[in-house]
Chain A
Amino acid sequence: MTDILPRPEAPAEARPASPGQRPRAAAQGSTIERQRRRLLVPFVGPAFLFYTVLFVVPAVAAVWISLNAWTGSGPMTFVGLQNYTAVFQDPLYLKSFGNTLLILFVVGIVIFVLAFAMTLLLRDMAGRKIIRSVIFFPHLVNALVFGILAGFVFNPGGLVNTLLRPLGVTSPPAWLAQDNLFPLIMATLVATSTGYFTTILMAAVDRIPPYLFEDCALAGATAFQRLRHVILPLTWDVFGTCAVLWTISSIKIFEIIWVFGGSSGSGIPPTQSWTTAVYTYVTAFSGMSTPAYGAATASAIISLALVSVLVILLRRLMHREAIEF
């Protein structure tokens, strides 16, 4: 996924040479080349159509909807940027936005530190394949499952409290109290996402040729020097990719919040643990109040803007001269 942002300059050799300077050797391939080009519509057309109608058109429509006051039925009223100023004055949205930022940065940093530490540990550890297989699996499981399980693990008569009782903890904290939910959610996210990023980082570290490590050993480099001068520079680009990946996926976090700790009576999670994705869904579809499609979409567009800015910043920040090895 290094190509998330445009990299317009393809290597010159890969481009079809202009007719005047076409080398003779390429002339043979020109028939199939020309035939291939005729396949543009039948090959790219269907994917283009599906993608445009079902993804691009809704995305563009979202920008328009966010500029209108609309309940979903009836007329739309153009209100300009009012939805945006309104959500930023809505304490619920500010809370959701804050939570999203907490997940993005705090959970993100913890995941990366842990994943990198685990990668270093696993590099030459016995049983690394088994461990890698096990820690990767949560990535394939719907986050709903972790949210529901947490409800059972932390409920008053649940696993954690029955474990604490013999240790003399008679009045354990109310884990699932509304104010405690969000920290628990953050911890659960760390526990279930770290394995995925560890797997990616491991693949990157494995690509470092072993002779570099042997050189380090011969030169008497300390573990820290090896980390600083060999491992980090050679995996830097993968770190950047992982950071982009986390940014994009963390902004969509919804289902684990929706069910975490079991369901409250109304079916909507307590507002203390909302993220912007939850805010968007509830504002449009909860059925509790008049749906406000404009405000809901404005909240989603702000998330998109956040992702875009962060991805561009990350690309700038993490960009280094690629090291060939």
Chain B
Amino acid sequence: MTAPAKPRFAPGRASQTLVERSPLRTVGVAALWGIVALSIATLLWMVLQAFRDTRSILGDPWGLPTSADPTNFIHAWTSSSFGLATLNSVLATLVASAVTVGLAAPAAYYLGRIENRLTGFLSLYFILGLGIPVQVILIPLFVMLDRAQLTDSLLGLNLAYIGLAMPFNVFLLAAFFRSLPLELEEAAALDGANAFSTFVRITLPLARGGLVTAFILQVIGNWNETLLALTLLQSTEKYTLPVALISFLQQQTYSGADWGGLFAGLCLVVFPMLVVYLWLGRRLTEGLTMGMSK
């Protein structure tokens, strides 16, 4: 691992001079590509199995589907009520995420822009929620929503998601608003715009990127949320997708395995996330790592 003998000081090649060649590194690089191949293969395998019937999956787990027969998907969508569950999931996901960002953005703006003792206290108040595990509020929240007749209701689930998401969103967006330049707002103020219209007409459009990121992160979180949904929802027609999947899995112990249907259900859970990721990948990774590397 000595410095390379040949001088290579041409600009742009700097990073190459630093690449070390050692057997350990070769093994590591091979392992990384192996992991990549394995991950993609797993995803592909899951999709392919969703097109086969249970008997052939069990007979030969490595087999390929003989035709693009969507029976499993149709069956899962209709009779296993994954269709309704998907709809519920979409509702719980989009409504809660939109309301969350809508409520968190003005609060985050205020807390991010004005620094005094009160906002310091309020920021701390919101941030403390980040460290509270969801199981702490599970039972009191259930009791509370039950008394308000909001259990087994998508409205109740949405409310729970909104409350739970406040700390992270206020935290993320406050950091984001702080990173926006003040100059435009000051210019608007000089032009006679009041503080409210400055926020609506200047700051919000500037912050669109951050707001969309927060929204998408929330969509991902709510789409995958399981524990609260499992606790708050009781009737099949209210189930979100993860709860429907769990209930489908439990029925199998009585009605026999339906692996084809199960794989179709798994695809329904994973696919929207894959689409979002392929569409917004970079912004997502940046959003999820934002403020952490700072």
Identify the A interface with B (CB < 8 A): 1-4, 6, 8, 10, 14-16, 28-29, 31-33, 35-40, 42-44, 46-48, 50-51, 53-59, 61-62, 65, 72, 117-118, 121-122, 124-125, 127, 130-145, 148-149, 152, 157-159, 162, 196, 199-200, 203-204, 207, 210, 213-214, 216-218, 220, 222-223, 238, 241-242, 245, 248, 251-252, 254-255, 258-259, 262-265, 267, 276-277, 280-281, 284-285, 293, 296-297, 299-301, 303-304, 307-308, 311
Instruction: Verify B62–A162 contact, CB threshold 8 A.
Output: yes
Complex CA–CA separation, A132 to B18 (angstroms): 20
A1, A280, A299: the one contacting B292 at CB < 8 Å is A1
Q: Give 4 nearest A-B pairs by CB, closest first.
A: A54-B163, A47-B107, A35-B195, A58-B140
Q: Within 8 Å CB of B127, what residues of A?
A: 3-4
Q: Within 8 Å CB of A301, what residues of B?
A: 136
Q: Within 8 Å CB of A284, what residues of B?
A: 138-139, 142
B124, B138, B250, B274: the one contacting A300 at CB < 8 Å is B138
Instruction: Verify A145–B133 contact, CB threshold 8 A.
Output: no
Complex CA–CA separation, A56 to B140 (angstroms): 10
Q: Within 8 Å CB of B106, what residues of A?
A: 39, 42-44, 46-47
Main secondary structure of the interface of A (DSSP, over half): helix
Instruction: Verify B14–A53 contact, CB threshold 8 A.
Output: no
Q: Within 8 Å CB of B291, what residues of A?
A: 1-2
Q: Within 8 Å CB of A267, what residues of B?
A: 250, 253
Q: How far is the CB of B136 from chain A (nearest CB, A)?
A: 4
B226 in the interface, Cβ–Cβ < 8 Å?
Answer: yes
30 A-B residue pairs with CB within 8 Å = A32-B198, A33-B114, A36-B195, A43-B110, A44-B106, A48-B122, A51-B170, A55-B132, A55-B163, A59-B132, A72-B143, A117-B28, A140-B276, A143-B224, A144-B226, A149-B266, A162-B62, A196-B288, A199-B288, A242-B292, A254-B227, A255-B226, A255-B227, A259-B246, A293-B139, A297-B140, A300-B133, A300-B138, A300-B139, A307-B132
B20 in the interface, Cβ–Cβ < 8 Å?
Answer: yes
Q: Within 8 Å CB of B109, what residues of A?
A: 43
**Chain B: which residue is nearest A267 at the CB level?**
B250
B39, B61, B292: the one contacting A2 at CB < 8 Å is B292
B74 in the interface, Cβ–Cβ < 8 Å?
Answer: no
Instruction: Verify A199–B107 contact, CB threshold 8 A.
Output: no
**Residues 1-60 (chain B) with a chain A CB within 8 angstroms:** 1-3, 14-20, 25, 28-29, 32-33, 35-36, 39-40, 42, 46, 58
Q: How large is the interface on B (under 10, 10 to 19, 20 to 34, 35 or more residues)?
A: 35 or more
Q: Within 8 Å CB of A142, what residues of B?
A: 223-224, 226, 242, 269-270
B154 in the interface, Cβ–Cβ < 8 Å?
Answer: no
Q: How far is the CB of B33 from chain A (nearest CB, A)?
A: 7
A132, A258, A308: the one contacting B246 at CB < 8 Å is A258
Instruction: Verify A281–B231 contact, CB threshold 8 A.
Output: yes
B17, B139, B164, B227: the one contacting A55 at CB < 8 Å is B164
Complex CA–CA separation, A134 to B285 (angstroms): 12
